[in-house]
Chains A and B, each alone.
Chain A
Amino acid sequence: MKSENASLTARLVLFAAGMFVFGFVVLPPLYDVFCEVTGFGGRTNTTAQTAVEAPDLTREIRIEFVTTVNNYAPWQFAPAVDSMTVNPGKMYFATFTATNLSDESRTGQAVPSVAPVSATAHFKKIECFCFDSQEFSAQEQRSLPLQFIVDPDLPDYVDTITLSYTYFESNYVTRR
């Protein structure tokens, strides 16, 4: 009886420890891979991509820009236009304006997210300020460029894509 109890206990402890490892070690990378593959969670490219241009002039997609500044940091950050209408396969440019509202130099970086999930893989950023961080001197204002193509393979039920940027103080970003 004693040894039966001990071996069952050992197996149950091992199972509990395994579940901890599953939660702490296995799940986060698994979730990452899942998001990369499916575009779940608004994952979008953070390094430059290239795309073949074959414009589909018969189709119009509305692109909406949303901006947020994290943690009420002393920044102003806004798109030049709130939305634009684009043809898939054609290259477009958009500008955003960022202002450092404080009296000291600061570094910031925008982190992008795309919705809906089915559009994430088809929204391709050729050039984006979000690939790097930007250093601003006190009270400096600057325009930040974005160059993108919407892939013509975009599922036909998608007519609006939302691109959201959150501007972070770079001490958050470099913590990675």
Chain B
Amino acid sequence: MSDHGPAKGITRWLYTTNHKDIGTMYLIFSLIMFFIGGSMALVIRSELMSPGLQFVHPEFFNQMTTMHALIMVFGAVMPAFVGLANWMIPLMIGAPDMALPRMNNWSFWILPVAFGILLSTLFMDGGAPASGWTMYPPLVLQTGDAFPFLIFSVHLMGISSIMGAINIIVTILNMRAPDMWLLKMPMFVWTWLITAYLLIAVMPVLAGAVTMLLTDQFFGTSFFLAAGGGDPVMFQHIFWFFGHPEVYIMILPAFGIVSEIIPTFSRKPLFGHDSMVYAASCIAFLSFIVWAHHMFTVGMPLTGQLFFMFATMLIAVPTGVKIFNWVATMWRGSMTFETPMLFSLAFVFLFTIGGFSGVMLAMVPADIQYHDSYFVVAHFHYVLVPGSIFGLFAGAYYWLPKWTGHMYNETAGKLHFWTSTIFVNMTFFPMHFLGLAGMPRRIPDYSTQFANFNEIASIGAIGFGVSQLIFVYVLLTSKKGAKATDRVWDEPKGLEWTVPSPAPYHTFETPPVKRVAEEAFE
């Protein structure tokens, strides 16, 4: 049936509506952004290697912290998950392509423009945005020429994610193979369905908030200006109403990925599939009613503090359900430790550490001490780096043979895993101690008492950065390994393993028949 292949040359990529091509572009784009954001992190860590100012001006340091966050959140983690969704969701549900292929092309090609604009602010008068990625007024209103470009790039990122999310929802709800009813869907598809709903619910709210910043700056409104009757605290409420669901947008698809991988390498079905679905939905619902735990120190009535504290702690319950289900899946399984499994195991273990420090931060009296300290930095890097990023690596190694048709270099993969895991802990674990001892975040200098832990963290960061080059090596040599079989691993479940390796340009042009679908899940 594949009587026509992809077009030749650059137009293939510019005009493509093929979910595999678009998925590949998303993944490559996010890898490039991962390295750009990562080099900014290395500027930060080099500056913090020892007390005093050595390499950069404080203004530039602040630009680096802001840009590092914006690029990693919107440029690396989110597009990488969308890339995996594009590649895998049609294969996992037996659909020929995404439901809205032309919009799919748009939602990708907006991204390079958005990040071109954002990165160009580094060369503007007044430099790049330096107010932190949270863009709190009135500080953010002091941004130089970069300000309107920051707002427009956030608008574009939002439009891209909303279009991507709508596409994913329509694909999942309308294009599943016959007899794949909702609760039979693979976990990755489920978590992405929930994530996509979160995206269309909160990205427009962020767009509204930054639009208000824009009108405050240029059109004489006072949404956030106290002098004109506005309230800067309102921005924080609106921002975190977006921001808290956003952090689950960045972790739920990773939950889905490890829920695919752990059963394969434990050779057991996923324990409690349906409870996993309910837990993820529960987390998504709770994410909308906990936003003010980011703002305990800005002033709030006691009832408000208690409500947000208990609601936040409640999230540990469905998250705990997921952790225990993964552990129960492994229990008495016939486990092997290929690279995707290693990354998934590290995910379960290290994400839990990040979850625990999250529960500590949820407690109001403790949070008042931890707020804006390196403890917070340690917490969210533990959930984002060995959480989201390790989930992405696990997924990339797991599905890479299906994409290329060859096994990747397992030795290099394992080396990538071990160096990443050692260095990620070396970087972020000491930050817990720094935070508890009182080191504030987003400041380029510090008291000499913090010197030793900072030095360890900086060496770890450089090691982590260099380790990621091994991943590039694995990708560059990914077509040199042995031919992959269609099923690639030892009897993995799911429709994606019923198509040949590498997956042909067009798959499931006719929906899989019931028998194939059932075998894939037996």
Contacts and interface: CB of A to CB of B under 8 A. Distances in A.
Decide whether A and B assemble into one complex: yes
Interface of A: 1, 4-5, 8-9, 12-13, 15-20, 22-24, 27-28, 31, 35, 38, 40-42, 70, 109, 111, 113, 115-118, 166, 168, 172-173, 175-176
A13 B166 contact: yes
B228 A16 contact: no
Given A9-B170, A19-B202, A117-B301, A173 B227 contact: yes
B200 interface: yes
A23 B238 contact: yes
B201 interface: yes
Contacts of A18: 204
A23 B166 contact: no
Contacts of B212: 24, 28
B225 A175 contact: yes
A135 to B, nearest CB: 16
Interface string B214-249: 000000111101111101011001100110000000
B282 interface: no
Given A8-B174, A9-B166, A17-B204, A175 B231 contact: no
Contacts of B173: 8
Nearest to A169: B227
A151 B227 CA distance: 26
B73 interface: no
A19 B226 CA distance: 26
Contacts of B225: 172, 175
A166 B201 contact: no
B205 interface: yes
B252 interface: no
Contact of A111 (B220, B226, B300): B226
B373 to A, nearest CB: 23
B207 interface: yes
A31 B301 contact: no
Contacts of A117: 299-301
A5 B229 contact: no
A163 B30 CA distance: 50
Interface string B380-417: 00000000000000000000000000000000000000
Nearest to B304: A40
Given A23-B207, A117-B300, A172-B228, 20 more contacts: A8-B169, A8-B170, A9-B100, A12-B200, A16-B203, A16-B204, A18-B204, A22-B205, A23-B208, A23-B238, A24-B212, A31-B234, A42-B299, A109-B227, A116-B301, A166-B226, A172-B227, A173-B227, A175-B221, A175-B225
B205 A4 contact: no
B194 interface: no
B227 A70 contact: yes
B162 interface: yes
Contacts of B99: 5, 9
Given A17-B204, A20-B205, A27-B238, A5 B174 contact: yes
B209 interface: yes
A23 B228 contact: no
B204 A168 contact: no
B468 interface: no
B200 A31 contact: no
B238 A173 contact: no
Interface centre among B203, B222, B228 (most CB of A within 10 A): B228
Among all A-B residue pairs, the 9 with the closest Cβ atoms: A23-B208, A24-B208, A176-B228, A23-B205, A20-B204, A172-B227, A19-B204, A168-B227, A12-B166
B39 interface: no
A176 B222 contact: yes
Nearest to A167: B227
B228 A173 contact: yes
A70 B141 CA distance: 14
30 contacts: A4-B174, A5-B170, A12-B169, A13-B166, A15-B200, A15-B201, A16-B162, A16-B166, A19-B202, A19-B204, A19-B205, A22-B204, A22-B208, A23-B205, A23-B207, A24-B212, A27-B205, A27-B234, A35-B231, A38-B301, A41-B234, A70-B227, A109-B227, A111-B226, A116-B301, A117-B301, A168-B226, A173-B228, A175-B220, A176-B228
A19 B170 contact: no
A38 B301 CA distance: 10
Nearest to B220: A175
Contacts of B241: 23
A124 to B, nearest CB: 20
A72 to B, nearest CB: 12
B202 to A, nearest CB: 7
A59 B220 CA distance: 45
B196 to A, nearest CB: 9
Contacts of A9: 99-100, 166, 170
Contacts of B237: 31
A13 B200 CA distance: 8
B485 interface: no
Contacts of B226: 111, 113, 166, 168
Contacts of B299: 41-42, 115, 117
B239 to A, nearest CB: 10
Nearest to A71: B138
A38 B302 CA distance: 13
A16 B26 CA distance: 23
B211 interface: yes
Contact of A175 (B203, B227, B300): B227
A18 B206 CA distance: 13
Contacts of A116: 301
Interface in B301-329: 301
Contacts of A115: 299
A8 B165 CA distance: 12
B173 to A, nearest CB: 6
